[in-house]
Structure 1
Amino acid sequence: MTRFEGPDALGHIQSLPSWLVGRVAARGRNLVADAIAEEGLRLPQHAVLAAVAEYGPVAQADLVRRLGFDAKDVVLLLNHLEDAGLAVRRPDPRDRRKNAVTVTSTGLRTLERCAELAERANAELLAPLSEAEGKQLMELLGRVYEA
């Protein structure tokens, strides 16, 4: 019997850094998703709102490129944000055939609350670690990400 048969097969997979990082990422994503749900947002809506706040006024097509989302999905996400009063679409002054999206003051306040909620969720994620260990983990993850 090889080490990939029998009782060690699953243990091997679960000992891989890629598996552990994926599981931790899924837990973190769920914690943040649950937290920002208090503001009535899902993760993709939050990402679009943050991009609009950072780059706006921004053309819808630019949002699609920057976020890597499907164009139809961005339209639906913007519909939700606009219905909630968090963003507005107006004709782009540079090209009236396009819409430019801008975050509203309500949208900015929502982003601030979401940032606080996400910080709390991430603190919960890192709660098993000391402050120094949390900083070290962030440094190590950053190095792996940048490689």
Structure 2
Amino acid sequence: MSEAPLAAIRSLPSWLLGRAAARGRSLVAGALAVEGVKMWSHVVLCAVRDLAPVAQADLGRSVGLDPKDLVGVLNELQSAGLVVREPDPNDRRKNAVSLTTDGERLLERCERAAREANDALLAPLTAGERDRFTALLAKISGTDR
């Protein structure tokens, strides 16, 4: 056997992307854990900040989280005093979610930690390579629009 084990698999872009994604998730999850935050909580906090006040159903759709799972995340965030759920001003039958001041502060720390983790992930690349790599990932993922 002259080739390295799994050479065919390890040369596939999909395999390489998966490995890079796993490493990136691990770095970000570790950085967020220092703040006591899980990945999905970070995603939900970011979405609430960007969309608030946002109906729970709209929030779930925006982040692609199952409604039952979203309720669990929101319950944890609300118990921690990071978000509030109040009647939606546009439809009082629905709840609208907003960040609290503590939620905003925590999110700022989490975003800084996530940026630092991503910097560590991309450390082998030059600034130009980082920009190009990020643009290519956005293109592949269909989020470059």
What TM-score, normalized to structure 1?
A: 0.88
> Which is further off, 6-15 or 85-94?
6-15
Which residue is 2:134 aligned to? 138
Which residue is 2:106 aligned to? 110
Once residues 123 and 40 of structure 1 are traced to their aligned partners in structure 2, the CA distance between those partners, rounded to angstroms, is 20
Which residue is 2:61 aligned to? 65
Once residues 92 and 138 of structure 2 are traced to their aligned partners in structure 1, the CA distance between those partners, rounded to angstroms, is 41
Could you tell me how far 1:142 is from its partner in structure 2?
Answer: 2.8
Once residues 100 and 142 of structure 1 are traced to their aligned partners in structure 2, the CA distance between those partners, rounded to angstroms, is 30
- Structure 1 residue runs without a partner (length 5+): none
Which residue is 1:96 aligned to? 92
Once residues 93 and 143 of structure 1 are traced to their aligned partners in structure 2, the CA distance between those partners, rounded to angstroms, is 37
1:128 aligns with 2:124: yes
Which residue is 1:44 aligned to? 40
Corresponding residue to 1:11 among 4, 7, 12: 7
Could you tell me how far 1:141 is from its partner in structure 2?
Answer: 2.2
Which residue is 1:23 aligned to? 19
Cα RMSD between the aligned structures? 2.0
Give the partner amino acid of 2:140: V
SS of corresponding position for 2:18: helix
Could you tell me how far 1:92 is from its partner in structure 2?
Answer: 1.6
Corresponding residue to 1:32 among 28, 37, 45: 28
Could you tell me how far 1:6 is from its partner in structure 2?
Answer: 9.6
